[in-house]
Amino acid sequence: MEICFGKVSRNLAIQSDADQLWSAIVHELPGLASHRDGLQMRYIDDEGDDICVTTNDELQEAVRVGKETSKGFLSLNLSVTGMGQSTRTSIEESARSSDCDHDDNESTEDEDYERVQVPPTPPTPPTAPANPVQTNVQQVDVLQIIKNAGVSAISEINQAMDSAQTEMNKLLNQLGNTSTKQKETEEELAAVKAELVKENDKLIESEQKVVNLTNDLNGATELLVEAQEQAKNTSIRLMDLEKQVSEKAVWEKKYTVAEQERAKLEHQLTALRSALQALTAQPASEPAITKPAPVKAVKAVPIEAKPVTAEVVSTEVVAASPVVKPAASPELPPPYEKPAPILSPLEKKQQQLRDMGFNLTLEQLKEKLEAHSGNMEHVVISLLS
């Protein structure tokens, strides 16, 4: 089985007891010895679920599942609840250092083993003395070889220096170009700064214009509100005037109709009086013996009778002639007034409209009243418009 803590992994023998597994974990990772309570051991089963191991039965089940996987062993992921990153890193580093020490010890043992296994070097047999001429030739060849090697090394060094000089010249040229570009950039930056200052001045002017325009807009808004209020008042006044004009026209029509009726009635009354006077007047062809002479009609005031004296021509007594009282003018009877028919409220309104000169049927008047919520004034105004 395998245990993994962060980037550190260890291979352990299969444990069937949780306490034994904990002892093995502490042996491999001593830094976890004080974190027994917060330690969690998890593994991924064949269905992809994350399973936590806390009891012996769960551990045995985990080992069984690990054997059935493709790897053929159980891999437990160790984690400690509430552990900080620094503590986790220190435990991993201590585990890695223990691995290095363990590897060094193994390599040392291998080296010792190799040193022990290496057989001793046999002694070198004595050689015969060399020829001096041959020895000098060999020395000359060695010096020539060393000289040639030195010349080659110097040549290579010179080539390297030339290459370095070339690179330095390139760097100097690039530095010069960079300086030129830097100057150009500084000039462009200065121009941009000057342009930015101009734009800032323009922006300040624009802001001032915006403030002025805002003030003008506020003033115009106030004037607009006042104008709207005046227009509203004027509209109300105009409506009142139109109402007064419509009422005046209505009353003028009513007055015209009433004046026509009055003239008509006055004409009828005059004709009736004339007819009555003609009927009550006496004809002028009657004899004066039986009836007294017609007396001119005077005011209906009774006249007192006066005695008439007669001259005595004989002894006969002549009776006094009777005094005839003038007939009083008969009083004219009041004009005949036809009893007004009883009208319904709707018929009364229809009669009023007819008096104003509007000939509407009851159905039309009813529709007008429904359209104007029963307000007769609005009906009249709609008929006038």
**Would you list the DSSP string of 212-228?**
HHHHHHHHHHHHHHHHH
Exposure of 139 in the CB half-sphere (CA atoms within 13 A): 7
Question: What crossing angle do the helices spanning 345-356 and 376-384 adopt, rounded to 10°?
Answer: 30
**Domain boundaries in the chain?**
2-117, 344-385
User: Which residue is listed with tokens 């006055």?
Assistant: 266
- What pLDDT, on the 0 to 100 scale, is given for residue 19? 81
pLDDT at 382: 84
Tokens representing 70 are: 């493709």
Cα dihedral across residues 341, 346, 350, 356: positive or negative: positive
| CATH code for the domain defined by 2-117 | 3.10.20.90
- Strand order of the β-sheet with 8-11 is 8-11, 2-5, 75-80, 39-44, 50-53
One-letter amino acid at 119 equals P
Among 324, 351, 329, residue whose Cα is nearest residue 340: 351
Q: Which residues contact 35 (CB under 8 A, 6 or more apart)?
A: 80, 83
Q: How far apart are CA 58 and CA 74, in angstroms?
A: 12
Report d(CA 158, CA 153) in Å as an integer. 8
* Gyration radius from the chain CA atoms: 73
- The answer, as to whether pTM is greater than 0.85, is no
Question: Tokens 């040549």 map to which residue?
Answer: 155
- Total Cβ atoms within 10 A of residue 283: 6
Report pLDDT for 44. 84
376: its two tokens: 């007769």
Per-10-residue mean pLDDT, the chain, length 385? 82 80 83 80 82 85 81 80 81 74 49 38 46 54 81 84 85 84 88 92 92 93 91 90 89 91 86 68 45 44 44 48 51 60 81 81 87 85 79
